[in-house]
């Protein structure tokens, strides 16, 4: 097995590049994709209220490419627009933009470095979660890849070291990433306070990440993985203590206890995320399972008074995909998520408008048909109990959220 080829294929797959690319001079290629979905969520508002009656406000557009200056040096990038009703406005953003230098490679091992905005290799899906062709259905497993930490963990501005080794014909691939990211704070605010925090606007996130995968010599269709991420997110733009005191003086009685988010003067969370992954391809079947554990320490100041809390979040999913023909596939998935491992009922995380946000259990069924020339259509139905992975949006606190809820999606996808 050629280790240089393994490294190149790994990089190309991480960019989500199909075969029928637009080839340009000087070793350059351009690729792109488009996905338009229609989503119906009759029980709970999914990323916005329009979905309750059916909404087309779910769209993904991306264009990516690379230029190879030599077998060792290339630059690559992707611009992405992701529109999900009220939870994501569709603004164009730089998904990744990096220089990749492979400074050592022989038939047994390779080592390289990427500098810039790099995609984070976490679990089986994180670095390709926005590529429609790289996931079985409309979304990746929402239990392990839940939206609250999507932007925080998606990419990092920094350095990424990577390597591949063949040890007695066992394939080992690893990545080490160090950097930081400035992200919109809305998901962080809803995750910690279940409501928006006045005047807060962003979170500064330093991140250290290590991932490793192992493909044994006795079966190349079997893959094991371990990902560990150390994250610190600090809320910026909060009220000063004087501003919070003034707000408290003019507030209604007991408002401090009813709406503590209105008096936040500082907030941050330390998280240690671990994901254990397993994947097995057997004939026409692809089986996958992942387990997530998040150890978090949350600290905040309310009108200058500090408090803290520690918790353990736990999640897992089991997924089976059947490639019925060369053009069609179907899949099923079962998953669970508990924001606090010791609180399976979710009572400790309950809010007045959403008593069920502390846990989630659900089944998903779906299928995909590749109709040719880069086009595919897919459908998915999800049946859920608990709302731990129901996407937050500005205004969700004004709705009464139901415990049992379903949603249905039909998507048209194109890639080149």
pLDDT, tens only, 52-82: 999 999 999 999 999 999 999 999 999 999 9
Domains of the chain (ranges, CATH numbers): 3-415 (2.40.160.10)
pLDDT at 47 over 50: yes
Mean pLDDT of 177-188: 84
Least confident window among 16-25, 325-334, 351-360: 16-25
CA 176/CA 164 separation, integer angstroms? 12
Rounded Cα distance, 85 and 65, in Å: 28
Whether the per-residue pLDDT at 1 is higher than 70: the answer is no
Confidence of residue 381 (pLDDT cuts 50, 70, 90): very high
Confidence at residue 25, expressed as pLDDT on a 0 to 100 scale: 65
> Residues 46, 139: contact at Cβ < 8 Å?
no
Q: Summarize the confidence of residues 287-311 as an average pLDDT.
A: 92
Residue 95 has pLDDT above 60, yes or no: yes
pLDDT of 4 > 50? The answer is: no
**With 90 as the cut, is the pLDDT of residue 392 above it?**
no
pLDDT of residue 267: 87
Share of the chain above pLDDT 90, in %: 63
| First vs last C-alpha separation in the chain | 29
Across the range 292-315, mean pLDDT stands at: 92
Is pLDDT at 234 greater than 50 in this prediction?
yes
How high is the pLDDT of residue 23?
Answer: 61
Q: How confident is the model at residue 24 (pLDDT cuts 50, 70, 90)?
A: low
Both tokens of residue 189? 């605010």
Least reliable range by pLDDT among 17-31, 58-72, 330-344, 401-415: 17-31
Q: In this prediction, what percent of the chain has a pLDDT beyond 70?
A: 94
Cβ atoms 61, 33 nearer than 8 A: yes
The pairing of strands 404-415 and 375-385 is antiparallel
Which pLDDT does position 19 carry in this prediction? 47
Measured between alpha carbons, how far is 136 from 68 in angstroms, rounded to an integer? 30
Min mean pLDDT across 115-124, 315-324, 326-335, 345-354 is at 345-354
Average pLDDT of the residues in 392-397: 86
Please state, in angstroms and rounded to a whole number, the distance separating the CA atoms of residues 391 and 147. 6
Question: Minimum mean pLDDT among 16-30, 142-156, 250-264, 337-351: which range?
Answer: 16-30
Residue 389 has pLDDT above 70, yes or no: yes
- Residues 244, 248, 252: CA angle, nearest 5 degrees: 150
How many Å apart are CA 416 and CA 402, to the nearest integer?
40
Q: What is the mean pLDDT of the chain?
A: 90
């Amino acid at each position: 097995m050629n280790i240089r080829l393994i490294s190149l294929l790994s990089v190309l797959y991480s960019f989500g590049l199909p075969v029928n690319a637009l080839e340009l001079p000087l070793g350059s290629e351009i690729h792109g994709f488009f996905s338009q979905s229609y989503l119906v969520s009759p029980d709970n508002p999914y990323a916005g209220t329009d979905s309750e009656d059916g909404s087309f406000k779910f769209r993904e557009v991306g264009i990516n490419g690379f230029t190879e200056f030599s077998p060792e040096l290339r630059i690559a990038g992707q611009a992405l627009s992701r529109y999900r009703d009220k939870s994501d406005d569709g603004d164009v953003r730089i998904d990744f933009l990096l220089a990749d230098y492979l400074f050592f490679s022989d038939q047994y091992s390779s080592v390289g470095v990427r500098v810039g905005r790099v995609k984070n290799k976490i679990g089986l899906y994180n670095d390709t979660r926005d590529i429609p062709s790289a996931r079985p259905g409309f979304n990746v497993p929402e239990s392990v890849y839940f939206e609250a930490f999507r932007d925080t963990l998606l990419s990092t501005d920094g350095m990424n070291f990577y390597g591949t080794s063949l040890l007695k014909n066992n394939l080992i691939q690893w990545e080490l990433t160090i950097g930081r990211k400035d992200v919109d704070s809305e998901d962080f605010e809803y995750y910690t306070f279940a409501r928006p925090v006045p005047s807060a606007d962003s979170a500064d996130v330093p991140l250290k990440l290590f991932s490793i995968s192992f493909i044994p010599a006795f079966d190349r269709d079997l893959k094991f993985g371990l990902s560990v991420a150390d994250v610190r997110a600090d809320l910026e733009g909060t009220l000063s203590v004087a501003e919070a005191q003034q707000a408290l003086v003019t507030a209604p009685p007991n408002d401090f206890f009813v709406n503590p988010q209105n008096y936040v003067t500082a907030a941050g969370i330390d998280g240690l995320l671990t994901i254990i992954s397993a994947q097995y391809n057997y004939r026409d079947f692809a089986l996958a399972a992942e387990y997530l554990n998040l150890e978090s320490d949350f600290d905040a100041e309310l009108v200058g008074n500090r408090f803290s809390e520690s918790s353990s979040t736990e999640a897992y999913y089991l997924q089976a995909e059947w490639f019925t023909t060369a053009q069609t596939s179907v899949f099923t998935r079962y998953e669970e998520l508990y924001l606090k491992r010791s609180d399976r009922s979710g009572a400790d995380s309950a809010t007045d408008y959403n008593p069920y946000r502390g846990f989630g259990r659900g089944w998903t069924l779906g299928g995909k048909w590749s109709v040719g020339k880069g086009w595919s259509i897919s459908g998915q139905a999800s049946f859920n109990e608990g709302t731990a992975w129901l996407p937050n949006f500005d205004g969700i606190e004004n709705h009464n959220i139901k415990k049992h809820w379903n949603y249905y999606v039909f998507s048209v996808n194109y890639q080149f």
